[in-house]
Structure 1
Amino acid sequence: MPTPSGPAPGSCLALAQELDPAEQVGQLFMLGVSTESGLTPQVAEVLATTSTGQVLLLGDTQAGVEGVRALTDDLRTADDQPKGLGLLVAVDQEGGQVQRLRGPGFDRIPAAIEQAQLADDELRAAAEVWGEQLRAAGVDLDLAPVAGVVPPEFAGRNEPIGVLGRHYGPDAATAAPKAVAVAEGLQRAGLGTSAKHFPGLGRVEGNTDFAADVVDTDTTRDDPELVAFAEVIEAGVSSVMVGTAVYDLIDPGVPAAFSPVVIEEMLRGDLDFDGVVISDDLGAAAQVQSVAPGERATGFLRAGGDVVINGDPTIHTAMVEATVALVEEDPDIADEVEAKTARVLDLKASVGDGLADCDPARR
């Protein structure tokens, strides 16, 4: 009997192949949208012309579930998605100082370091409730949990994680079960999840959002604390976010988001992760401002990433156009983009009521 060729009918790869190159590229971007200013003419124009597949709600709001739902409905109306696809809406809803959505209908979520005091079952149940509230607001993906750890000697000077209490513990043995419980609870609510910020931001001082030249001089490729990421991946996390710090003992001088060593060799190879790889912000973050916008996007995708987060709408079109140009000139990149798009569609099909008209179980 002849061996079937090509993707299975109804698979997300088959759907990805139906998209033209520009539509495929659009699925590889997540545009930051302010919850304060909402759907501005600029954002509407960008969404309507780039086939951008995802948006990220930025800034803190007290609008409550109904107010956020009004915004997510507006965004979906404005976005011009290809047939069979819907716009995915993401948010950073970790807890503590990183709880972006508040107001009526949203519980107050304690910081991760406080969540870690709960029993695993209790934390899992709480995360499911928080996830249901996000779903009611039209959110599909929570960029949580933080799987990185903050060793005690860094806790008081680690600006991006430790100072804000965003970690579940000082080591993987403590943090991993809590991060797993949160991921599982959110997933039970129908949300996608994202373990972050691979390979961990707990041993740096500066925050890559606000500082350049942020470097980790301690973390190694076989660091025992990476077990926390391994366990969350084993629990079925939907995606992994890669940070933009430089890791001197892993790939000196290269921000993690631009490093094939970090993405392809460590995350894909060592940890056997085959889901969606998302970047930390490559738009407004101070850490990447020395790199041209188009090169930020193509550099991340070339390194093995799948979805570019961009918090600066003014450069979004340039990033997308640079990626389309790369696809048109390089057949090998075109094949990679097709595979990346299929991974994104797998994720979209698996969240909520399904945002892609395909079956992620088929190959």
Structure 2
Amino acid sequence: MNITTFSKEQLAGQRVMAGFDGTDLNNDLKFLIDTLKIGGIILFTRNLSGPDQIKELCQSVQEYARIRGQPPLFIAIDQEGGQVARLKEPFTQFPGNPKMKDEADAVHFAKVTAAELTELGVNMNMAPVMDVAPEGVQSIMAERVFGHTPERVSALGTKVIRHLQNNRVMAVAKHFPGIGRTTSDSHNDMPFLNADMAALESFDLLPFEAAIKQAVAGIMLSHIFYNKIDPKWPASLSPRIAKKLLRNMMGFAGIVITDDLDMGAIKKHYDIRTVIQQILSADIDITLICHKGPNIEIAFEEILKGITDTQEIKTRGEASVRRILKLKEKYL
């Protein structure tokens, strides 16, 4: 995959990961792959009816991308186990991160999950959750975290990363720079976290540092407003958090992904064009839009406009696509 042969449309589309309706390679999916040239799709329960159907869906979208001259697609899913698990029975059901007793449980989860995902053709898991929920806080993440201390979250989370990725499934650590202290849900509206950099560095960031050392493929940004770090933008739209903190200070060289831009935390406060402009200025690699609708096409058009109008954004955008293609060449 030689980036110098990519059209501007391909450069823009690689930076979009989209959800869709339906359980097969329908016209909506063909439009996303052929016209918007998207780099990836994400699967939800609405797209899944059984092992044979899921495998056929994954094979058909990859084959369609190939015959249309596109790179292989990221095919992602949220399969954390427990509260957030898109694959239901007959797939293995796990009690969830809080119920893990030790590192052996984490290894078992990752190996079994990776085997089931690769058999289907799913190549990216939006896991593990690397948030830390402190004791005594009514954390929104209480039922999804590995534990109450950065040490435990780091130990179990890195085991999941290692054994997913050793078994050909890209791991995405989330939700940077940490949402374990928050008590409100970004699906509904934007939570605020009044923690300064010293508080983050001594607690929330430690598992993400461990994930970076473990060469995690991707890191997902939260939609939380860390007002003492960036007084203007939530993490998912923040150059201070995505570029300065994660890239420059922490040295992360993998792909950076937003959380779903359809969530209330973003949709209630910003229009999609402003959102994309911020994403481009923050060197965020992948925009995640999980529901069918005009925002997917508008996002593509806004990315295309950015790389067409501005040489600096085009150059930085090419660096993003190189990061994406490096992962695709390694795993796909």
Q: TM-score range by the shorter chain?
A: over 0.9
- The number of residues matched between the two structures is 328
Residue 152 of structure 1 aligns to a residue whose secondary structure is coil
Match of 1:128 among 111, 126, 129: 111
1:246 positional shift: 0.4
Q: Once the 2 structures are TM-superposed, how far is the Cα of residue 78 of structure 1 from its aligned partner?
A: 4.3
| 1:124 positional shift | 1.4
Residue number among 8, 22, 30 corresponding to 2:9 in the alignment: 22
Report the equivalent of 1:142. Answer: 125
CA drift at 1:243? 0.9
The worse-fitting range, judged by mean Cα deviation, of 239-248 and 60-69 is 60-69
- 1:176 matched residue in structure 2: 154
Residues 1:285 and 2:263 are matched in the alignment? yes
Normalising to structure 1: TM-score of the pair? Answer: 0.85
Instruction: Select which of 265, 272, 275 maps to 2:254.
Output: 275
Work out which of the residue numbers 218, 222, 226 in structure 1 matches 2:195. 218
Counterpart selection for 1:108 from 87, 93, 105:
93
Per the TM alignment, residue 84 of structure 1 is displaced from its structure 2 partner at its CA by 6.5
Q: Deviations over 1:74-106 (max 9, x none)?
A: 3334447763621220001001110011232x2
Query: Aligned ranges for residues 67-78 of structure 1 at < 5 Å?
Result: 67-78=53-64
Q: How far apart, CA to CA, are the structure 2 residues paired with 1:254 and 1:337?
A: 21
Q: How does 1:193-232 map to 2 (within 5 A)?
A: 193-209=171-187, 211-218=188-195, 220=197, 222-225=200-203, 226-232=205-211
Q: CA deviation at 1:140?
A: 0.5
Query: AA paired with 1:96?
Result: G
Instruction: Measure how far apart 1:253 and its partner are.
Output: 3.3
Which is bigger in relative contact order (C-alpha 8 A, separation at least 6)?
Answer: 1
Confirm or deny: 8 A CA contact 1:128 1:187 kept in the other structure.
no
Match of 1:9 in 2: none
Distance 1:177 1:202 in 2: 17
Corresponding residue SS for 2:139: coil
* Alignment counterpart, residue 47 of structure 1, candidates 19, 25, 33: 33
More divergent stretch after superposition (244-253 vs 321-330): 244-253
CA pair 231-82 structure 1, distance change in 2 beyond 3 A: farther
Q: Write out per-residue CA displacement over residues 249-300 of structure 1, whole angstroms, 9 at most, x where no aligned residue.
A: 2112311011111111111122111111111011x21111121222222311
Per-residue CA distance 1:23-50 (angstroms, 9 max, x = gap): 011111100134x655443333233211
Higher helix share: 2
1:339 paired with 2:319, answer yes
Inter-partner Cα distance in structure 2 for 1:64 and 1:24: 34
Deviation of the 1:342 alpha carbon? 0.3
Taking structure 2 as the reference length, the TM-score comes to 0.93
| CA–CA separation in structure 1 for the residues paired with 2:176 and 2:111 | 24
How far apart in 2 are the matches of 1:234 and 1:89?
24
Unaligned 5+ runs, structure 1: 1-11, 355-363
| Aligned Cα root-mean-square deviation (Å) | 1.9
Instruction: Give the SS at the match of 1:56.
Output: strand
Q: 1:113-154: CA deviations, max 9, x gaps?
A: 112x13x24421431121011010110000110111011122
- Aligned-partner Cα distance in 2 for 1:275–1:227: 17
CA contact (8 A) 1:60 1:100 kept: no
Decide whether the 8 Å contact of 1:294 with 1:323 is kept in 2.
no
The one-letter code sitting in structure 2 at the alignment partner of 1:83 is: G
**In structure 1, distance between residues paired with 2:65 and 2:272:** 22
Does residue 305 of structure 1 match 2:284? yes
**Deviation digits for residues 138-194 of structure 1, max 9, x if unmatched?**
10000110111011122xx322x11xx110111201211000011111112111011
Structure 2 runs not aligned, ≥5 long: none
CA distance in 2, matches of 1:192, 1:279: 16
Residue 306 of structure 1 and its aligned partner are, at CA, apart by 0.3
134 and 280 in structure 1: CA distance in 2 versus 1, 3 angstrom threshold: same
Alpha-carbon contact 1:128-1:189 (below 8 Å) kept = yes
More deviation, 338-347/221-230 = 221-230
> Are residue 92 (structure 1) and residue 70 (structure 2) matched?
no
What one-letter code is carried by the residue in structure 2 that aligns with 1:271?
A: M
Structure-2 residue corresponding to 1:322: 302
- C-alpha change, 1:341 and 1:82, in structure 2 (3 Å) is farther
Residue 188 (1) aligns with residue 154 (2): no
CA drift at 1:60? 6.2
1:47·1:80 contact (CA, 8 Å) conserved in 2? no
Taking a change above 3 Å as real, the CA distance of residues 141 and 312 of structure 1, as seen in their structure-2 partners, is same
Asked if structure 2 preserves the Cα contact closer than 8 Å seen for 1:32 and 1:313, the reply is yes
For residue 10 of structure 2, what is the amino acid of its counterpart?
Answer: E
State the match for 1:8 in structure 2.
none
